Amino acid sequence: MVGAMSAPAEQPREVVFPTADGGAIHALVYGAGDHGVVLAHGAVFNKESWDEQARALAAAGLHVVAIDFRDYGESKAGSESGARYQDVLGAMAWLRKDGAKKVSVVGASMGGGASARAAVEAPAGSIDALILLAGGPTERPEKMQGRKLFLVSEGDPGFERVRDQYTRAPEPKKLIVLPGSAHAQHIFKTDLGERLLREIRDWLLQ
């Protein structure tokens, strides 16, 4: 990890917060400050999978919460079956209560689809930035809020779907296509991992 992105040594704190449909979401919190960031994992990952990236973002001054989606870890679903977007909205609300003045969301693969839906359903003006890392599609990308950054590998099986979501999304927006075929959070395990983290950090800190 490069100097400005070195990770702080402090251990994250564990929290639990409710969702609007009665779920209970377990999460890890890194850092503090006025700008909160939700990290939403992919289908084969969990909240701990973001540890390196969460520490680096916290070191950059961001107030980070990495969630376990409903039915992952100890997180419990609410009454709305499969409504992972509710988990993202719950994390956004928790960050506001924990002192964040603005909130951004980073979602990968499955978590990207949930984050995109949350960006459609959230109250107007409640999302500063939305970063979708090979994110799953949402039915109404035209309604997504925030400054939108789409990231995907050129060889990702979902590349065309991501490009379609990007095309339909409103400004401000940007699409970054990375070389290779690694999918979503798997990119962090490649030699493009530092670049990917830097792109995410820089978009959040605009």
Q: What is the pLDDT of residue 29?
A: 98
Strand partners, 177: 152
Structure tokens at 190: 């490649």
Structural domain includes residue 9:
no
Share of the chain above pLDDT 70, in %: 96
Residue 115: which of 124, 123, 106, 128 has the closest Cα?
106
Does position 24 have pLDDT exceeding 80, yes or no? yes
Domain count, the chain: 1
CATH, residue 135: 3.40.50.1820
pTM: 0.95
pLDDT of residue 54 exceeding 60: yes
- What are the residue ranges of helices labelled H in the chain? 51-59, 84-97, 110-121, 159-168, 193-204
Confidence of residue 4 (pLDDT cuts 50, 70, 90): very low
Per-residue model confidence (pLDDT) at position 2: 36
Domain holding 144, by residue range, is 14-204
Q: How confident is the model at residue 9 (pLDDT cuts 50, 70, 90)?
A: low
Handedness of CA 65, 205, 199, 11 (dihedral sign): negative
| pLDDT tops 80 at residue 6 | no
State pLDDT tens for residues 144-173: 999 999 999 999 999 999 999 999 999 999
Identify the pLDDT of residue 81.
87
Mean pLDDT of 179-194: 98
Tell me whether residue 3 is in a domain: no
Q: Which residues contact 44 (CB under 8 A, 6 or more apart)?
A: none
Give the mean model confidence (pLDDT) for residues 62-88: 97
What pLDDT score does 177 carry? 98
Mean pLDDT estimate for the chain: 95
Structure tokens at 121: 């359903």
Q: Does the pLDDT at position 107 exceed 60?
A: yes
- For 112-143, write each residue's pLDDT tens digit: 999 999 999 999 999 999 999 999 999 999 99
